[in-house]
Structure 1
Amino acid sequence: MTEEPTLRVGDVEVARYVLHPDLDPRHGPRPYLHPVRTLAGTPVTDAFPADHVWHLGASLAVQDVDGTNLWGGRTYVRDIGYTWRDDHGVIAHTGWGDRGPDRLEHELQWRDRDGRVLLTEHRRLGAAPVAPDVWRLDVDYTLTAPVERDVHLGSPATNGRPGGAGYGGFFWRAVADGEPSVFTNDNEGEQAANGSAAPWVAMTGVTPGGGAYTLVFTGLGSGDRWFVRTAMYPGVCVAFAFDHPAVVPAGGDRPGRHAVLVADGTLDRARIAALLDRRDGA
């Protein structure tokens, strides 16, 4: 069995990349980062939680890709609700590009349950130091549609579920003992952050082991929105189809570029702004 790739900042392993998960097809098999840790070693991702077993650390996952569920779990069906269907596909690694201690680059295929390729993807993950207590995860990818057809990306919200359930995209399932706090550059709370197009979203929490952390998410693309949960579970998603379907045109690309600051302790807005300014000026 091949050892799982890792990302490192200097001598510190900050993330492990599960490339070929051996999962029940209903859990949406796909590569995912877990555990992701702060520089002090505090884990900040969760996988296989009892409330949503198909939540897998940090990953790309969409519930409706031309009718294929690549998120896992039940599918939301208009006028019916969540339903178990035989519609689960897989996101599969197909080849490596550049690799190093602080970077992983590879090719993937998004496939339906019969193995038909829905999308191809080029993905690059990177880890970089920002401060003695902060590092940055960079997530860059390009999704490409087949030349012969458009590919539609949807969510429970676009399929009729109310309540701002527009999830699907780059999703981070965090770990927290109790309800974490979430805020943006100018607002606070799940209700304000969910569905917003704020320049960044921060989540602060404490793990069951007592480690305090802050995660700062940036990088919405055109038409993207933040999907945020704190009360039901701790999670943040760059949502591709929050309130209307997205389309990858035939033969065309959908690029994405996100960054997550992973910090020990609880950061306030001023510290976050300073860290983001440092990055933008680098």
Structure 2
Amino acid sequence: MSTDPTAVTEEPARLLVGATEVARYVVDPALDARHGPRPYLHPVRTLGGTVVTDALPADHVWHLGASLAVQDVDGVNLWGGRTYVRDVGYTWRDDHGRIVHTGWSRRSADLLAHQAEWRDPHGRVLLTERRRLAASAVTPDVWRLDLDSALTAPPDRSVRLGSPATNGRPGGAGYGGFFWRAAADGEPTVCTADAAGEEAVNGSTAPWLALAGIGPGGGAYTLVFAGLGPGDRWFVRTAMYPGVCAAFAFDRPAEIPAGTTRHGRYQVWIADGALPPDRCATLASDRRS
């Protein structure tokens, strides 16, 4: 199948702030199963036009802009790429599922809402999801993305969420959840209110996290993330690649009990320019709907 990020079977939806397109939402990408096909946002732009996401990069082809993705959902890889196997390491396996868009409940310029199914390689439904994405203006140089997700387990079985870290990989590789692969020319900077740098920030539970970089066209930008849920932690990479994840299973597996729903609400402030930490904190303090 195609690995072209523009190859889809349904046209991408658009998110606008006023008359400005700030993101495209690809709900049905025509991708190889090994890339973890799933709905994703790309390109996401600042109000000034700087692209702040990357999709299918050469270093990790399965990184798809901004998306929800987990490497271990009851043993099914819904992240893409190789699977980390305890005492073995990363291994190519035929365990790739897909997150399938099953219908829209609302589409407007600033709000997208739909349903999806998290499926195993044979099409069995592992989880059902209701998802809502909204774009809103904050200031002339900042807009906010809100992503709400409700993941529901089947009535007859619980669902376990894991990561390479919970499967034995050392080094704080607890990724899997709401993941943002950033676009950056050079290594970006990352900070929270009381820490700076990848090593200090990775694994933290800070209420907000900011990543600042230079986009592919030379424009400076800042992304401010908030929305960790109970048990979540920040997974961060800046040296190997630029990425931030609100990780569900950073150092221990998470579980969605049978018939119950895991709710997540994530906010990202997308700003032109390099914002100082005090302004990042001010933005993150306003989490009104």
Q: TM-score range by the shorter chain?
A: over 0.9
Which 4+ residue blocks in structure 1 deviate beyond 2 angstroms?
273-277, 279-282
2:54 corresponds in structure 1 to 46
Post-superposition offset of 1:273? 2.2
Post-superposition offset of 1:224? 0.1
Post-superposition offset of 1:3? 2.6
1:174 corresponds in structure 2 to 182
Q: Which of 213, 222, 227 is the aligned partner of 1:219?
A: 227
SS at match of 1:42: coil
SS at match of 2:77: coil
Gaps of 5+ in 1: none
Check if 1:61 corresponds to 2:69: yes
Letter in structure 2 aligned against 1:3: E
Q: Residues 51 and 216 of structure 2 are in contact (CA less than 8 Å); yes or no, is this contact kept in structure 1?
A: no
Structure 1 residues 141 and 280, CA, compared in 2 at 3 Å: closer, same or farther? closer
Post-superposition offset of 1:135? 0.2
Query: How big is each residue's C-alpha offset from its partner over 1:77-96, in whole Å with a ceiling of 9 and x where there is no partner?
Result: 00000000000000000011
Structure 1 residues 89 and 133, CA, compared in 2 at 3 Å: closer, same or farther? same
Cα RMSD for the two superposed structures:
1.0
Q: Which of 251, 254, 261 is the aligned partner of 1:253?
A: 261
Q: Which of 221, 228, 247 is the aligned partner of 2:236?
A: 228
Matches within 5 A, 1:55-204: 55-204=63-212
Q: Residues 224 and 284 of structure 2 are in contact (CA less than 8 Å); yes or no, is this contact kept in structure 1?
A: no
Q: Which of 16, 20, 30 is the aligned partner of 2:28?
A: 20
- In structure 2, distance between residues paired with 1:92 and 1:108: 5
Gaps of 5+ in 2: 1-8
Letter in structure 2 aligned against 1:237: C
2:5 corresponds in structure 1 to none
- In structure 2, distance between residues paired with 1:77 and 1:280: 38
Q: How many residues were matched structurally? A: 281
- In structure 1, distance between residues paired with 2:108 and 2:147: 15
* Aligned-pair identity (%): 71
- In structure 1, distance between residues paired with 2:124 and 2:29: 20
- In structure 1, distance between residues paired with 2:142 and 2:101: 29
Check if 1:273 corresponds to 2:277: no
Post-superposition offset of 1:274? 2.3
Post-superposition offset of 1:2? 4.0
- In structure 2, distance between residues paired with 1:281 and 1:135: 13
- In structure 1, distance between residues paired with 2:177 and 2:220: 26
Post-superposition offset of 1:174? 0.1
Letter in structure 2 aligned against 1:133: D
Query: How big is each residue's C-alpha offset from its partner over 1:24-76, in whole Å with a ceiling of 9 and x where there is no partner?
Result: 00000000000000001000000010100000000000000000000000000
SS at match of 2:76: coil
Query: How big is each residue's C-alpha offset from its partner over 1:186-219, in whole Å with a ceiling of 9 and x where there is no partner?
Result: 1100011100000111000002321100000000
- In structure 1, distance between residues paired with 2:203 and 2:282: 25
Letter in structure 1 aligned against 2:16: R
